[in-house]
Amino acid sequence: MTRLEALQTVYSRLHDRIVVTIMGAVAAELQSIGHRPNFFYLQHAMGLASSMGLGIALSRPDRQVIVLDGDGSVLMNLGGLTTLARYRPKNLVHVVFDNESLLSVGGFPTATSTGSDLAAIAKAAGVPRTTTVRTIEAFREAFDEALAAGELASVVAKVEPVGPSAFVTGLGLLENRFQFQRYLANAVDPDPAR
């Protein structure tokens, strides 16, 4: 499975949910499918996308938050998994695209290429729901189950180490940031009974 295929297969689910991505290929590929005002791309600060997702999830319990992370970024903030697990927001789904490499900076292998298991690490950190998937069908199913589960979930999707040819997009960083903030300010709970 490629990350782009995985993003395409769940794109319709992102329509009314808060999405925070990491930098590089994830941000560029999601934008290539279609940017929305409820998407925020953290184009640096590797490791902190999950922390931002936690901050949003705790601040807006009425909204579901999806973090689209990567193996290189998660490995830079493994402690953050313990913080996520400690507060285990019910409205947060943590997707980790694991291509076992630092693709955006030359494809050097990360520690997941030599056996480090991010779903097992998340589970041991205390994340209540974790899984690793390797096919599009399994990813779609795991993603939908995580959305419906009502508890903190980590979905590690093993993907091929391929990505876009360029990472800079036409969307300015601050344009994205202020648009996203405005979206959150105006966003009302789509299902107040939840």
Partner 1 sequence: MGEAAEWFRIRDAADMSPVSTANSRLVYDALKACGVRLLSALPETWLVHLIRLAEEDPDMTLVRLAKEEEGVGISAGAHLAGVKSAMLMQNHGLLASINGIVSCAQLYRIPLLMLISHRGEFGERDPWQTEGGAVTEDILRALRIPSAFLEHPDHVARRIAQAQTLAYASNKPVALLLRRDLMFEES
Binding site for partner 1 (CB under 8 A): 20, 40, 42-45, 47-60, 77, 79-80, 82-83, 86-87, 173-174, 177, 180-181, 184-185
Among left, alpha and beta (phi > 0; psi -120 to 50; other), residue 88 is left
Please, what is the minimum distance in Å from the beta carbon of residue 160 to partner 1? 28
Nearer to partner 1, 52 or 147 (CB): 52
CA dihedral sign, ordered 100, 134, 73, 180: positive
Please, what is the minimum distance in Å from the beta carbon of residue 56 to partner 1? 4
Nearer to partner 1, 55 or 128 (CB): 55
Please, what is the minimum distance in Å from the beta carbon of residue 158 to partner 1? 25
Nearer to partner 1, 37 or 161 (CB): 37
Please, what is the minimum distance in Å from the beta carbon of residue 119 to partner 1? 19
Nearer to partner 1, 136 or 187 (CB): 187
Q: Token digits for 106?
A: 């030359």
Query: Three-class SS of residue 91?
Result: coil
Q: Token digits for 10?
A: 């769940």
Q: Give the separation between CA 70 and CA 179, rounded to whole angstroms.
A: 24
Please, what is the minimum distance in Å from the beta carbon of residue 90 to partner 1? 15
Nearer to partner 1, 33 or 173 (CB): 173
121 Cα distance to chain centroid: 16
Q: Give the separation between CA 171 and CA 95, rounded to whole angstroms.
A: 23
Burial (CB < 10 A; 0-12, 13-18, 19+), residue 133, is: buried
